[in-house]
Every structure is written in C-alpha cells, then in structure tokens.
C-alpha cells in the first residue's frame, strides 16, 4: 500500500514502538490519530513528527468504551475516516504466575488482547469505507516462543497472533488486510523492570525504530506478517517442529535466573 495521505490510528503512541511508528509514518506523509493514556507523552510524540499539522491526539484508555467512541468520532470529524488501525498498546508484567495478582492478569488480558478485538469491532464501519483498509496487530516473539516468567504476557500474545490469523481470513472477502507483527525484545518504558532477565535469557533488545521500520516496510509490501530479521526467526521454526529443544534451552536459562537471586 501507498502510505502517503493514509489515515492511521495508532494506540500506545506515547512511547516505544508506537512513537517510532508515528515518526516513520509521518515522514512518509501519513495522517495520524495518536492514542494513549498520557497527554504529555503524546504531545512529545507529535513534536517529533515531520508534519505536526497532520496529527491529532486522543488521551484515554483503549479498554474503555468512551475512548473507543472518541476514536470513532475524532477520526470521522478530523480526517473523514480510517485507513489503518494499528493495535500497538500493550503491557508486560513479568514473574512467576503464582506471584501475579488478578489485576496484573486482567490488565494484560484487557490491554493486549481484548482491546484489539473491541477496536476492530468498533472501527469496522469506518475501515470498510476505506479503499485500502488494513489492521496491524503488534504482537511479540513471545507470541511464538513462550518464555517462563512471561506466562500471562505470552498467553495474550499467542492469542493476538491467533486473532490476527482468524481476522485475516474472516475479513478477506471485505478487502481488509491484516498484518501481524512480532518484534523481538525492544527498549521501552517496561525494559528497566525486566532488565534482570535479559542476560540470563540471552535476549537481544532493539531500538524501537527497528521494529517500526520493519512494520512500515511490511505494510508497504502488503505482507501478512513482520518478524525480526535475525536468528529468532529460526527459533520460531524450531519451537514449532522440535518444541522439546526449546523447552530444554529455556528451562536451563530459567535456572540461571533462579540461582542469581
């Protein structure tokens, strides 16, 4: 697809991959509706754009009905519709499942999985009016390879990948494309809380602009998925064909975490 003049809704646009997507898409002439819970960080994102006049912000929680209604209304009033919905907002809470509260688990389920379903549903009428509608679900490599201490997060990202596959088939007759993106570890606001796990699990962290550039390229080529151009893609294949190999590696790495406490 040609990105110039297309109307994008980006959730979680106040930092990380969402901010990097906004910057990259603005440079290609996109019009942007940026959604997040913090007005200050959203305004900072806008200040970094090549064309600030082509961006509007909505401050709100995408798990709430009133925020989703505001997206509908603002997109219609300010831009006349929506071409691309990017479900990027997400939260990662790490640790043993037995230590996580109901609020922790509910937060990950609602933000990472339920909200994308609700947004697709609520914005469907606007998407169908576009000449080249797309949905982008930003998942994670944890949606292909389930790490210990990331059980709840992995579950939501596996679910998002399944949602993307189902929607791609369901919406094809309506001409709506679905792109599933699976970045590897990325430097975001959540990184400091997980820093103690990066070395034992041998995680490689990308700057946000790396997955953002991959996602934009995948959109331009009408790809069905976007994965990192690295060894992790091989691990995905091994995990599917020989899961016990990945079991052994990750259990060994988990023991390193436990012994380092």
Active site residues: 153
Residues in Cβ contact with 117 at an 8 Å cutoff, skipping those fewer than 6 apart: 163
The Cα–Cα gap between 71 and 122 comes to 9
Q: How far apart are CA 48 and CA 26, in angstroms?
A: 9
Q: Using CA atoms, how far apart are residues 64 and 85, in angstroms rounded to an integer?
A: 17
Question: How many CB atoms within 10 Å of residue 153?
Answer: 24
| Beta carbons of 184 and 147 less than 8 angstroms apart | no
Q: Report the alpha-carbon angle 89-191-178, nearest 5.
A: 30
């Amino acid at each position: 697809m040609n990105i110039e003049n297309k109307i994008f809704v980006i959730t979680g646009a106040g930092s990380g991959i969402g901010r990097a997507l906004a910057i990259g898409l603005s440079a290609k002439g996109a019009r942007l509706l940026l959604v997040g819970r913090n007005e200050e960080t959203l305004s900072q994102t806008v200040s970094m754009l090549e064309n600030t006049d082509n961006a509007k912000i909505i401050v709100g929680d995408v798990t709430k009905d009133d925020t989703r209604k505001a997206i509908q209304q603002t997109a219609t009033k300010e831009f006349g519709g929506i071409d691309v919905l990017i479900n990027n907002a997400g939260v990662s809470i790490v640790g043993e499942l037995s230590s996580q509260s109901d609020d922790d688990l509910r937060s990950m389920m609602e933000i990472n999985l339920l909200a994308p379903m609700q947004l697709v549903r609520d914005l469907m009428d606007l998407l169908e009016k576009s000449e080249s509608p797309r949905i982008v679900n930003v998942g994670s490599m944890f949606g292909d390879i389930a790490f210990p201490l990331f059980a709840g997060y992995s579950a939501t990202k596996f679910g998002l990948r399944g949602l993307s596959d189902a929607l791609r088939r369901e919406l094809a007759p309506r001409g709506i494309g679905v792109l599933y993106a699976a970045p590897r570890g990325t430097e975001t606001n959540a990184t400091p809380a997980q820093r103690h796990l990066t070395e034992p699990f041998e995680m490689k962290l990308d700057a946000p602009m790396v997955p953002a550039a991959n996602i934009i390229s995948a959109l331009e080529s009408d790809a069905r998925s976007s994965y990192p151009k690295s060894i992790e893609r091989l691990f995905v294949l091994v995990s599917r064909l020989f899961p016990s190999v990945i079991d052994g590696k990750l259990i060994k790495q988990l023991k390193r975490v436990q012994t380092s406490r």
